Amino acid sequence: MKHYIIPVFIPHLGCVHECVFCNQKKITGFETPVTAAQVSAIISERLQNITQQRRIEVAFYGGSFTALPKSTQNELLAPATKALKAGYIHAIRVSTRPDCIERDTVKNLICQGVSIVELGVQSLDNDVLDKAKRGHDRQSVIKAVNRLKELGMRCGLQLMPGLPGEDWLSLIKTVRLAISLQPEFVRIYPTIVIEDTVLANLYRQGRYQPLSLEQAVVRSAYMKLVFEQAGIAVIRTGLQASAELDSKTNVLAGSYHPAFGEMVDSYIFYLMLAGFAEQKGAAYPQDIIIRHNPQDCSKIRGQYNKNINNLKQFYHIKMVSLYPDSRVKKDFLLIEFEGQSVILNKNMITSI
């Protein structure tokens, strides 16, 4: 059953720190705090528009939900809790800071029907966290994840490659430690420079250089591959496209792109194809046929046919033919060449 998220944005509510990258109002487009009545209206409106069977979740995004007073948390959750008890929705999730996860707070969330908590972790490098003015360290993350798991709460991590002070080694250490915590899922949001933030000032002063789009795609692809190989789902790469983020007056620099997630998946497909070619050594096949799931066609080709062109240029393959085939699983490739066949996926290359 496909998921359907009913998003409720609570920009900056509960946040006690001003992180260098953060301007929630610019990101979400919401300038005023949400009320319980608005939450109820959002849920009702979205439910009326669902015409097919879905697993429906109400998700509170944007602020630090568990940093709000308990009475405010319960007030905002009440419409979702009511919908959950009535069977109109299947789950409730909230997002918050790792240093706002107390035992009593989690128990209260459970009583209100919340079953998923997303932690805004960003990095697990203490130096990077300090430069980002997060106000917590990696030990706070470890403690929060363990507490959530101990109380039976599903837990996800949000990570931000490209923060000030991060390099490849720092990123690799963050990913390895995140895997050791065994969250149920991860979101990857490469850092972008938003107007009216400390990071915008640093960027204008030449003291911060964001990742280029290509660099962010490569790093996010690495993260997605490693997490998925460890059995941890990556449920999103890149910020959700919106009119606010599409505006050049809001986003000054960085790796925002409305199709960022597809660009990451496309790069992963290219790595699969390039890996196949590298295994052939100097004896590259002249012609190859790529059979693939119909849903993967644009990702295999890449933007402006980039993947196919690079395969031909760097590995001297004269003809690359793509054939949609519903028998091929999504994210798999069946390569036919010189009377041979090879199945590719993200984890292995296996000859038939």
For β-strands 233-237 and 287-292, DSSP reports them as: unpaired
Q: What is the mean pLDDT of residues 56-77?
A: 92
Reading the block at residue 339, the tokens are: 């009377």
* Tens digits of residue pLDDT in 260-272: 999 999 999 999 9
Higher local confidence (pLDDT), 19 or 104: 104
Tell me if 227 sits within 8 A of 180, measured CB to CB. Answer: no
* Whether pLDDT at 14 is above 70: no
- Phi, psi at residue 15, to the nearest 5°? -70, 130
Residue boundaries of the structural domains of the chain: 3-258, 280-351
d(CA 129, CA 166): 10
Top CATH class of 3-258 equals: alpha beta
CATH 3.30.70 fits 280-351, yes or no: no
What share of the chain has pLDDT > 90, as a percent?
77
- Phi, psi at residue 179, to the nearest 5°? -65, -40
Closest Cα partner for 182 from 230, 150, 137? 230
- Give the pLDDT band (50/70/90) at residue 284: confident
- In degrees to the nearest 10, what's the CA dihedral of 267, 28, 159, 218? 20
Reading the block at residue 318, the tokens are: 């004269």
Residue with tokens 């004269």, as numbered in its chain: 318
d(CA 248, CA 218): 24
